A and B are shown apart, each in its own frame.
Chain A
Amino acid sequence: MALPPRLRAIPRHFSISPLQRHITHPSQSPSSLSSIPPTQQSQTRRFTQNLTHTLQIYRSASTDPYLNLSIEHHLLQRSHPDSTILFLYTNRPSIIIGRNQNPWLEVNLHALREGLPPQTSPPPPPHTTPTTNDAHPSPRTTTATVPVPIALVRRRSGGGTVFHDAGNTNYSVICPPAAFDRDRHAEMVVRALRGLGVGGARVNERHDIVVDVGDGGGGEGAGGTFKVSGSAYKLTRTRSLHHGTCLLGSENLGRVSRLLRSPAEGFVKARGVESVRSPIRNVGVGGEEFVDAVMGEFRKMYGDAAGQGVVVGEDEALANEEVVKGVRELVSPDWIFGQTPQFTFSTHPTEEDPRERPEVVHTLPYGFETHFSIRHGEIQSATMAGLEYHDFVDEASQDEILSKGLVKQRLHYITDWRRTLKQASPIPVDVDDAGEFLNHMFGIQPPAEKGGGAVAQAVVQTISDTVVGMFLDGDIMDL
């Protein structure tokens, strides 16, 4: 438990060494990052000096959400306990769920699989270094006619689900727990936004940044308050991390609501953390302007020694074993899906979850009922009733046999519920309607229906042709 206030000033060896060999330090203004030459001797030395400083600013050249979160985690774990660090990054389209959330409940996995509409002119990645581009031409910039994949990510910090894309910039402040205050750095970003002319920005009671848009003086709640930034925190023994999004100019705002609405919502009762829906809006500020303003406010708070920001390149980050270890953890289906807190799925009201169920049940065979209890993505108990068997049998006991056959199945590896149900029953059974319903509920698209199969596979497919996916070279998961 790291929380409370006083800093433990334990001198500790500061080792970010694998990064330091590679990271370049921009001598120019941050807006001309794309012209930074590759690693040079003098710059390496300058970065080494930076490591001893108690103030550091880093910017990621990568748009990979798994890599950026792993660089951030590395900074959290390895930075000097006394240091205060600002880290800025922008991700390619992704849905980021909180540490203790349920992807089957928070995300429309079908919409996730569809991806975003192809873009005719892909926006330039925010801080891409020439080296990265040359080494790995991004598949996304060359395939303008196929949908843009959306990554599904479970972060290590708490809180709810958010959507990221090139029009969203993330800030992250890592500091001693003594300085931990949930609003302090959101206020810093509010000052940056106000400086950029976003007058109505403020931190709300949920520690998020909202903008009040003129509503004729009706006050809050008159439809004029929009969320532009969400906060989440991670506290370790010696350090605290606050990171937040900031919607600057996302072109996908109109798509976010559908992406974050699961068809299983009315059937799932989950432990853990449920997201709170808020109307969202862009602040209409450019990425570079925002980054400059946030760095400026950070320096005002902590001092000019923080500098202009050290750029962490994709190749440099991937040369760090710990960062790569972090990426492997984050891309693993056992983390993304298997970390899900216990939940139940029931087609009908239960004592534990007495809500009225949505109407979609009409697609089910008459009298069909099912209830699952799922832990770490694995079915712990199942009850199926009302399936039609082809033989004259005691249907109730057949249901029981079939239900037992479902125990230990891992939800994220199921490729087609019709097959799973058939395999669980020793005698022929009519499973098409029930199977299709469950496929719909759990985001499964059997291979015949494009995109194919298990949700774990679908998520891995969005990773495999990225720079990080190519780096991991296919050993992301053992399907």
Chain B
Amino acid sequence: MASITRCLRAARPAAFSAVARNSAPRTISARAFSVTASNAIKRYTKEHEWIDISADKKTGVLGISEYAAKQLGDIVYVELPEEGKEVKVGDAIGAVESVKSAADINAPVSCKITHINSFLEEKPGNINQVAEDDSHGGGWIAKVELTEQGLEDFEQMMDVAAYKEFTAAEEEH
């Protein structure tokens, strides 16, 4: 997660600084998140969701991948998940609209939704800019608590390298 985000920020300094300007408490939240990020483990589904779980494997942050965001095109609206809801792996938990397409966001693991990124309601385009950023102003969708089953689901997911290979193969087709 961290490395990807760093690359992304380097690649899009203008976009990122625009976000930074608009979000006063950024330094605080960035520090808070970096604690999680340094120990986190990130995996992907074949349907292009990512989840980044904490070192104790009890909580996570999820979103849609940068690759998917690029494929979808300009995201104009995000229907966020419902806070407090318990979902099973593969359940539709929300949706994004881009270029006349409503696309489901599916739960990458069984989990309980604890927080949603309400900022995306105002700035859905943040997903296009920083899809895998879990800080304030980032494109993350929700924070979750993993269930026991959720941890097993997580084990089935692809790691960064496998996902990279997977999307590279997709692009060839």
List A residues at the B interface (Cβ < 8 Å). Answer: 1-6, 8, 98-100, 156-160, 178, 182, 206-207, 231-237, 271-273, 341-342
Contacts and interface: CB of A to CB of B under 8 A. Distances in A.
Contact of A237 (B64, B67, B101, B106): B106
A178 B47 CA distance: 11
B140 to A, nearest CB: 14
B104 A237 contact: yes
B68 interface: yes
B77 A341 contact: yes
Contacts of A272: 76-77, 97
Given A100-B79, A237-B90, A3 B100 contact: no
B121 A158 contact: no
A182 B169 CA distance: 21
A182 B99 contact: yes
A68 B88 CA distance: 29
B56 interface: no
Contacts of B104: 1-2, 235-237
Contact of A271 (B46, B121, B173): B121
Contacts, number: 98
Which among A2, A160, A206 has the greatest number of chain B C-beta atoms within 10 A? A2
A5 B173 contact: yes
Contacts of A233: 99-102
Contacts of A3: 48, 68, 71-72, 103
Contact of B169 (A6, A160, A232): A6
A1 B101 contact: no
A2 B170 CA distance: 13
B31 to A, nearest CB: 30
B32 interface: no
A178 B97 contact: no
Interface in B24-81: 45-49, 64-65, 67-68, 71-72, 76-77, 79
A160 B100 CA distance: 7
Contacts of B105: 1
A136 to B, nearest CB: 32
A178 B67 CA distance: 15
B167 interface: yes
Interface in B127-173: 166-167, 169-171, 173
B92 interface: yes
A207 B77 CA distance: 19
Given A1-B68, A272-B77, A231 B100 contact: yes
- Categorize the interface residue count of chain B: 35 or more
B49 A1 contact: yes
B90 A5 contact: no
A217 B74 CA distance: 34
A431 to B, nearest CB: 32
17 contacts: A2-B103, A4-B68, A4-B71, A5-B170, A6-B46, A6-B170, A99-B97, A100-B76, A157-B100, A160-B100, A182-B99, A182-B100, A232-B101, A233-B101, A236-B104, A237-B92, A341-B121
Nearest to A182: B99
B47 A2 contact: yes
Contacts of B166: 6
A8 B46 contact: yes
Interface of B: 45-49, 64-65, 67-68, 71-72, 76-77, 79, 90, 92, 95, 97-106, 121-122, 166-167, 169-171, 173
B102 A4 contact: no
Given A4-B68, A157-B102, A232-B100, 16 more contacts: A1-B45, A1-B48, A1-B105, A2-B103, A5-B170, A5-B171, A8-B46, A99-B97, A158-B97, A158-B101, A207-B100, A231-B100, A271-B121, A271-B122, A272-B76, A342-B121
A234 B71 CA distance: 14
B172 to A, nearest CB: 9
A100 B71 contact: no
Nearest to B65: A1
A51 to B, nearest CB: 23
A178 to B, nearest CB: 7
Contacts of A234: 101-103
Nearest to A1: B48
Nearest to A235: B103
B68 A178 contact: no
Contact of B102 (A6, A8, A206, A235): A235
Contacts of A160: 100
Nearest to A4: B71
Nearest to A8: B46
A56 B140 CA distance: 39
A237 B49 CA distance: 11
Given A100-B79, A100-B102, A236-B92, A4 B97 contact: no
A273 B46 contact: no
Contact of A158 (B64, B100, B122): B100
Contacts of B47: 1-2, 237
A125 B86 CA distance: 45
Nearest to B77: A100
Contacts of B122: 271
B77 A271 contact: yes
Contact of A4 (B48, B79, B98): B48
Q: Lowest 4 CB-CB distances: which A-B pairs, in order?
A: A159-B100, A233-B101, A235-B103, A158-B102
